[in-house]
Structure 1
Amino acid sequence: MAESLLFIPDISGYTKFVQNTEIEHSQHVIAELLEVLIKANTQNLKLAEVEGDALFFYKEGVVLSQEKLLAQIETMFTSFYSHLKVLEKNRICPCNACATAPDLQLKIIAHSGELQFITVQGKRKPFGQIVIEAHRLLKNSISSNNYALLSEDLSKVIGISNKYKSQLFNFSKYEDVYDEKNIKYLFSEIDKEDLKLTSYETPYEVHFDKSPILEIQKEYSVSAGELLEYITNYSYRHHWVKGVNEFVYNPDEVTRLGTEHVCVIDGKRLNFTTVTKSVESDRLIYGEHTTDIPVIDGMYQFYTLVTTSENSCKLILELYPEAKSIFKKIMLYLVMKRSFRKSIKESLDNLEVYVNNK
Structure 2
Amino acid sequence: MSKSLLFIPDISGFTKFVQTTEVEHSQHVISELLEVLIDANTQELELAEIEGDALFFYKEGEIPSQERLLAQMETMFTAFYSHLKLLEKNRICPCNACATAPNLQLKIVAHCGELQFIAVKGSRKPFGQQVIEAHRLLKNSIHSDNYVLVSKKLAKAIELPIYYYSKVFRFKEGRDSYDGREVEYIYALIDREKLSLNEFSQAKKVVFERPPDLILEKQFPVPASELMEYITNYKYRYEWAKGVDKFEFNENEVTRLGTEHVCVINGKHLNFITVTKEVDPGVLIYGEMTTSPPPVDALYQFFSITPISQTSCNLRSESYWEAKSLFKRLIIFLFLNRIFKKNTQQALDGLYRFITTKPLQSQF
With the length of structure 2 as denominator, give the TM-score of the two structures: 0.98
Q: Aligned partners of 2:203, 2:287: CA distance in 1, in Å?
A: 13
Match of 2:355 in 1: 355
Q: Aligned partners of 1:198, 1:137: CA distance in 2, in Å?
A: 30
Deviation at 1:217, TM superposition (A): 0.7
Q: Aligned partners of 1:295, 1:208: CA distance in 2, in Å?
A: 20
Match of 2:141 in 1: 141
Match of 1:117 in 2: 117
Q: Aligned partners of 1:200, 1:206: CA distance in 2, in Å?
A: 18
Aligned residues: 358
1:156-305 to 2 correspondence within 5 Å?
Answer: 156-305=156-305
Residue 172 of structure 2 corresponds to residue 152 of structure 1: no
**Unaligned 5+ residue runs, structure 1?**
none
Match of 2:340 in 1: 340
Q: Aligned partners of 2:326, 2:203: CA distance in 1, in Å?
A: 28
Q: Is the 8 A contact 1:94 1:225 kept in 2?
A: yes
Q: Aligned partners of 2:285, 2:203: CA distance in 1, in Å?
A: 16
Residue 21 of structure 2 corresponds to residue 15 of structure 1: no
Which one-letter code corresponds to 1:131 in the other structure?
Answer: V
Q: Aligned partners of 2:355, 2:204: CA distance in 1, in Å?
A: 29
Q: Is the 8 A contact 1:204 1:258 kept in 2?
A: no
Q: Aligned partners of 2:214, 2:267: CA distance in 1, in Å?
A: 27
Q: Aligned partners of 2:323, 2:240: CA distance in 1, in Å?
A: 28
Q: Deviations over 1:95-147 (max 9, x none)?
A: 00000000000000000010110111121100111000000000001110000
Q: Aligned partners of 2:105, 2:355: CA distance in 1, in Å?
A: 36
Q: Is the 8 A contact 1:34 1:55 kept in 2?
A: yes
1:22-171 to 2 correspondence within 5 Å?
Answer: 22-171=22-171
Q: Is the 8 A contact 2:79 2:197 kept in 1?
A: yes
Q: 1:144 is paired with a residue of what secondary structure?
A: coil
Match of 1:310 in 2: 310
Q: 2:320 is paired with a residue of what secondary structure?
A: strand
Q: 1:176 is paired with a residue of what secondary structure?
A: strand
Q: 1:300 is paired with a residue of what secondary structure?
A: strand
Q: Aligned partners of 1:335, 1:123: CA distance in 2, in Å?
A: 60
Q: Deviations over 1:59-80 (max 9, x none)?
A: 0000000000000000000000
Runs of 4+ in 1 over 3 A off after TM superposition: none
Q: 2:207 is paired with a residue of what secondary structure?
A: coil
Q: Is the 8 A contact 2:90 2:203 kept in 1?
A: no
Q: Is the 8 A contact 2:112 2:130 kept in 1?
A: yes
**Unaligned 5+ residue runs, structure 2?**
359-364
Q: Aligned partners of 2:118, 2:16: CA distance in 1, in Å?
A: 33
Deviation at 1:268, TM superposition (A): 0.3
Q: Deviations over 1:243-280 (max 9, x none)?
A: 00000000000000000000000000000000000101
Which one-letter code corresponds to 1:171 in the other structure?
Answer: F
Q: 2:209 is paired with a residue of what secondary structure?
A: coil
With the length of structure 1 as denominator, give the TM-score of the two structures: 0.99
Deviation at 1:199, TM superposition (A): 2.1
The alignment yields a C-alpha RMSD, in angstroms, of 0.7
Q: Aligned partners of 1:101, 1:152: CA distance in 2, in Å?
A: 33
Q: Aligned partners of 2:169, 2:123: CA distance in 1, in Å?
A: 37
Deviation at 1:163, TM superposition (A): 1.6
Q: 1:330 is paired with a residue of what secondary structure?
A: helix
Q: Is the 8 A contact 1:13 1:104 kept in 2?
A: yes
Deviation at 1:157, TM superposition (A): 0.4
Q: Is the 8 A contact 1:204 1:274 kept in 2?
A: no
Q: Is the 8 A contact 1:168 1:195 kept in 2?
A: yes
Which one-letter code corresponds to 1:218 in the other structure?
Answer: K
Q: 2:26 is paired with a residue of what secondary structure?
A: helix
Q: Is the 8 A contact 2:48 2:58 kept in 1?
A: yes
Q: Aligned partners of 1:139, 1:286: CA distance in 2, in Å?
A: 42
Q: 2:215 is paired with a residue of what secondary structure?
A: strand
